[in-house]
């Protein structure tokens, strides 16, 4: 073949080669794309299958971080099986009789004289040891005030002295204390002195206390308060009395707690620039009902809005505080017996006492809270929180039989959150002091079925075990409490009592007197 022919065929061969290469590139491209799609689909499918397992195996703190960034992940949280708090035998008529007994006929104990097994969420301080049960010193009255004992006018009798079973007594609101001579509360107020502190995992209590103490110039941080309040990061609860103890024992300011509060009192305290913390119920996305603290920084009657530095939800879009509707905050506050903490400087103690009035005295305050709870139950006899509060306030007054009846009714009407005993422990105290140790153990074991991270559960389990003579079990549970929280002084006190042969359950101690 001549050179001319070869040169003529060369462009044709080059063109065919290029076309063949282009076809190969397309094939490779399509193959790679197909492989990529199969691979990515496999990864997605595998992720859909594996990620929920991985997510659920993560510590709660990391789960919470993912949920905050990607709300849809709340659906991956394992569904908690609701538990029903057990109740002992009761008669509804006995519960209704509690609403008909005149408040003024209830014997009131001296605040410094304590009964056995005394540990109440939001109502007492850890403190001295006793020979029987768990004796503690309640949050003492303001020392510069004159105690005002309850009077027959504290609350009008509710209903007939002889109640009729299944007949609801006529509600009569609690009688207010002596009229105030103070200046009227402003219609709206906001305190700009608070800075929001975002809470770490499960650190609602320490975070609220930190932002409150910072208002008074405290230089500590959330880690400092949390290290004392909950040495175990998994601890599900910090009670108000623990927060008060921390303030009074480890800072340069003072704190008290009271129950039976109302929004008018909160507004007066806030407008006078006192720091106020409320404990309320709150529904967490993907988790359900939990206890939650709120530092109140302002309010606006025109909008029926309370402003709070919410350590979980933030300071609000306008940085004035998270907006809480009066009706909603009142409903959720009731779930914790309207408990409130006031943090103040020593030089303002008399001023605080004047604002609190008769509620400065603990005996009066407990009676007042009982009157409010009975009124709430009269208005809504199927409200479990009203009955629970009646029980709590009877515990404060050391009327344990009445308290146990109220707690029975609270579980009977239904609706108590299954986490209720993560935060409030007065049912244990009531049943323990009436000698119903089986009910104490039933409540403790039910709670342990959904969490082991509440030291009070083991504490009361140990108390019931010790009362039944199961000393090794009681000692093991008390040691478990102290391993979980070395600052839980009542556990060490009871352990010492048992080891020294000084422990005696209420029934035995009372019989020996």
DSSP string, 9-70: HHHHHHHHHHHHHHHHHHHHHHHHHHHHHHHHHHHHHHHHHHHHHHHHHS-HHHHHHHHHH-
Which tens digit of pLDDT belongs to each residue from 26-46?
666 666 777 777 777 766 765
Q: What average pLDDT does range 14-22 have in this prediction?
A: 58
How far is residue 102's CA from residue 109's CA, in Å, rounded to a whole number?
17
Which tens digit of pLDDT belongs to each residue from 367-422?
999 999 999 999 999 999 999 999 999 999 999 999 999 999 999 998 999 999 99
The pLDDT-based confidence of 448 (bands split at 50, 70, 90) is very high
Q: What pairs with residue 288 in β-bridges?
A: 284
- Kindly tell me if the per-residue pLDDT of 243 is higher than 60: yes
Please check whether residue 312 is in contact with residue 106, taking contact to mean a CB–CB distance below 8 angstroms: no
The pLDDT-based confidence of 232 (bands split at 50, 70, 90) is confident
Q: Are strands 188-190 and 322-325 parallel, antiparallel or unpaired?
A: unpaired
Tell me, which fold does domain 92-139+155-171+394-512 have in CATH? Answer: 1.25.40
User: What does each C-alpha distance from 245 to 1, 123, 411 come to in angstroms?
Assistant: 108, 12, 31
Which residue from 119, 123, 110, 129 is spatially nearest to 504, judged by alpha carbons? 129
Residue 370: per-residue pLDDT: 96
Residue 169: per-residue pLDDT: 41
> CB neighbours of 8 closer than 8 A, spacing ≥ 6?
none
pTM for the full model? 0.76
Which residue from 38, 74, 66 is spatially nearest to 284, judged by alpha carbons? 74
Residue 512: per-residue pLDDT: 46
- CATH (one of 3.40.50.1820, 3.50.50.60, 3.40.640.10, 3.90.70.10) for 188-359: 3.90.70.10
Which tens digit of pLDDT belongs to each residue from 300-332?
999 999 999 988 888 888 878 899 999 999 999
DSSP secondary structure of 472-491: HHHHHHHHHHHHH-TT-HHH
- Kindly tell me if the per-residue pLDDT of 148 is higher than 50: no
**Spacing of C-alpha 380 from chain mean position:** 23
Please check whether residue 244 is in contact with residue 341, taking contact to mean a CB–CB distance below 8 angstroms: yes
Residue with the bigger pLDDT between 511 and 477: it is 477
> Mean of the per-residue pLDDT values for the chain?
78
Residue 133: per-residue pLDDT: 37
Residue 131: per-residue pLDDT: 30
Residue with the bigger pLDDT between 499 and 64: it is 499
């Amino acid at each position: 073949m001549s050179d001319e022919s070869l040169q003529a065929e060369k462009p044709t061969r080059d063109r065919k080669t290029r076309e063949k290469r282009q076809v190969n590139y397309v094939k490779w491209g399509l193959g790679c794309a197909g492989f990529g799609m199969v691979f990515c689909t496999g990864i997605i499918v595998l992720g859909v299958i594996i990620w929920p397992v991985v997510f659920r195996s993560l510590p709660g703190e990391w789960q919470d971080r993912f949920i905050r960034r990607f709300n849809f992940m709340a659906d991956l949280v394992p569904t908690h099986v609701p538990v029903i708090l057990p109740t002992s035998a009761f008669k509804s008529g006995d519960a209704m009789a509690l609403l008909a007994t005149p408040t003024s006929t209830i014997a009131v104990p001296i605040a410094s004289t304590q009964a056995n097994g005394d540990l109440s969420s939001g109502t007492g301080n850890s403190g001295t040891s006793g020979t029987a049960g768990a004796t503690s010193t309640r949050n003492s009255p303001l020392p510069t005030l004159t105690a005002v004992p309850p009077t027959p006018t504290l609350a009008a009798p509710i209903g007939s002295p002889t109640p009729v079973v299944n007949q609801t007594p006529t509600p009569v609101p609690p009688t207010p204390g002596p009229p105030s001579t103070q200046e009227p509360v402003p219609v709206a107020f906001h305190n700009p002195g608070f800075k929001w502190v975002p809470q770490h995992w499960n650190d609602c209590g320490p975070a609220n206390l930190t932002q409150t103490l910072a208002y008074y110039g405290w230089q500590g941080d959330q880690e400092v308060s949390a290290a004392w309040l909950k040495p175990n990061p998994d601890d599900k609860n910090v009670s108000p009395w623990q927060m008060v103890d921390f303030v009074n024992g480890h800072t340069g300011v003072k704190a008290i707690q009271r129950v039976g509060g109302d929004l008018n009192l909160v507004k007066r305290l806030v407008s006078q620039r006192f720091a106020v913390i409320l404990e309320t119920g709150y529904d967490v996305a993907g988790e359900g009902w939990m206890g939650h603290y709120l530092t109140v920084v302002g309010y606006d009657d025109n909008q029926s809005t309370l402003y709070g530095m919410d350590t979980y939800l933030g300071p609000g879009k306008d940085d004035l505080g998270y907006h809480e509707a009066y009706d909603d905050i009142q409903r959720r506050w009731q779930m914790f017996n309207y408990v409130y903490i006031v943090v103040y400087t020593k030089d303002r103690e008399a001023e605080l006492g004047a604002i609190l009035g008769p509620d400065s005295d603990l005996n009066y305050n407990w009676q007042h809270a009982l009157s409010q709870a009975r009124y709430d139950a009269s208005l809504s006899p199927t409200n479990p929180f009203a009955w629970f509060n009646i029980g709590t306030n009877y515990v404060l007054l050391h009327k344990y039989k009445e308290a146990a009846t109220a707690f029975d009714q609270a579980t009977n009407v239904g609706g108590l959150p299954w986490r209720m005993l993560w935060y409030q422990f007065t049912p244990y105290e009531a049943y323990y002091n009436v000698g119903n140790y089986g009910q104490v153990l039933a409540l403790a074991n039910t709670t342990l079925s959904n969490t082991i991270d509440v030291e009070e559960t083991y504490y009361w389990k140990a108390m019931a075990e010790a009362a039944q003579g199961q000393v090794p079990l009681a000692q093991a549970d008390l040691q478990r409490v102290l391993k979980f929280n070395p600052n839980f002084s009542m556990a060490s006190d009871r352990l010492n009592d048992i080891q020294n042969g000084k422990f005696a359950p209420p029934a035995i101690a009372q019989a020996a007197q």
